[in-house]
Amino acid sequence: MEHRIVKNDEGVSPVIAVILMVAITVVLAAVLYVWAASFLEQGESAPIATFFVQEGSDGVYHVDVIKVSKQEDLAGFSFYLKDETGSTYVGAGQGFGEIAMQIVGGEEHGIDMAYNGDDEQLENRATNVSNDDGSEYPVHFNDNDRDGKLSAGDQFLVYGNGNAASGPASDNWRLDIQFDASGDIIGSAKML
């Protein structure tokens, strides 16, 4: 029996080249799929908020919402009033909590002075926040367009000390707004 060796002077067989190209394409597609899927699994993306801060002659810092990258319900946000060291204010007043008026665990929460719902308990809280000089509620919120969302044109009032304010805030304090679904701080406003 005679064996013959066949030489291919053209290099790699075209069939092998096609198989290699298909294999490489499949591997690359799989890697891209896994990479893209990892972005989708990161949960809900947080909006980004931009603020403008101006201190009034009455001792109240006006924190105007200039822009929010996507609209979300107020119930999805929390606030944190932080002192110059970055610690959340936990003094006599409420320096952190929910922005929207709501009942959580049987207790009323929120700082929205513009609440216009049908819950008498929350209406009373909105009135109490509105009438406060910052000693009990150092941060107030006004949903100026009454849309129930954090949006441009809305305003936070952070109470310092002055002829109409008895709050704890002062220069170099900041107000952080958190998007609860992701836990991200979506914007910070520094008191100047």
Q: Which residues contact 83 (CB under 8 A, 6 or more apart)?
A: 89, 168, 173
Choose the most confident range, by mean pLDDT, from 18-32, 43-57, 145-159: 145-159
Report helix, strand and coil shares of the chain as percent, to nearest 5. 20, 30, 45
Work out the widest C-alpha separation in the chain, in whole angstroms: 112
Residue 95: band (very low, low, confident or very high) from pLDDT cuts 50, 70, 90 = very high
CB of 127 closer than 8 Å to CB of 140: no
In a domain, 82, yes or no: yes
In a domain, 44, yes or no: no
In a domain, 95, yes or no: yes
In a domain, 112, yes or no: yes
In a domain, 33, yes or no: no
- DSSP symbol at 75: G
Q: What is the mean pLDDT of residues 87-103?
A: 91
- Give residue 134's domain range: 49-190
At residue 191, does pLDDT exceed 90? Answer: yes
CB of 169 closer than 8 Å to CB of 73: no
In a domain, 10, yes or no: no
At residue 32, does pLDDT exceed 90? Answer: no
Of the listed ranges 6-10, 73-77, 115-119, the one predicted with least confidence? 6-10
In the chain, the number of structural domains is 1
Model pTM?
A: 0.77
Q: What is the pLDDT of residue 25?
A: 79
Burial class (CB in 10 A: 0-12, 13-18, 19+), 54: exposed
The CATH code of the domain that includes 100 is 2.60.40
| Alpha-carbon separation of residue 62 from 89, 150, 158 (angstroms) | 18, 16, 7
Tens digit of pLDDT for each residue in 39-86? 554 556 999 999 999 999 999 999 999 999 999 999 999 999 999 999
In a domain, 91, yes or no: yes
